[in-house]
Amino acid sequence: MYFRITEDSVELVEPENLTAFHAVRSPGLGDAAFAESVRRAGLGEPVGDGHLMVSIDAVRRLAAGRVGPDWADGLAKMVAYAAGKGWVDETGARVRAHVEIID
């Protein structure tokens, strides 16, 4: 799964793909506009090193009604894997996503 972030929206793309987790933004979207879009959508918080701390609750909210019944278990496994790599915050509520800049 990945997040397509524009000035006007945040979209969860391919939520059923639990083997990928990142965000994409266009090169024309400045840092301040990117951060504002992320915050306005309740997705999480940019952390400044090319990453975004994504709310796991926001992932669930954006995927609701679009995934199968086993998805929640798969998400939990993905988050556990990320935690083992140090990619989950100390509260366990947010997971780190790499941000790619693409056209």
CB within 8 A of 76, min separation 6: which ones?
A: none
SS3 (DSSP) at 8: coil
Q: How many domains does the chain have?
A: 1
- pLDDT attached to residue 41: 96
Range of the domain at 70: 2-101
In angstroms, what CA-CA distances link 62 with 8, 13, 90, 91, 98? Answer: 16, 9, 23, 21, 18
Q: Chunk the chain into consecutive blocks of 10 residues (it has 103) and report each block's average pLDDT, rounded to whole numbers.
A: 96 97 94 96 94 98 97 98 98 98 88
- pLDDT attached to residue 48: 81
- pLDDT attached to residue 19: 96
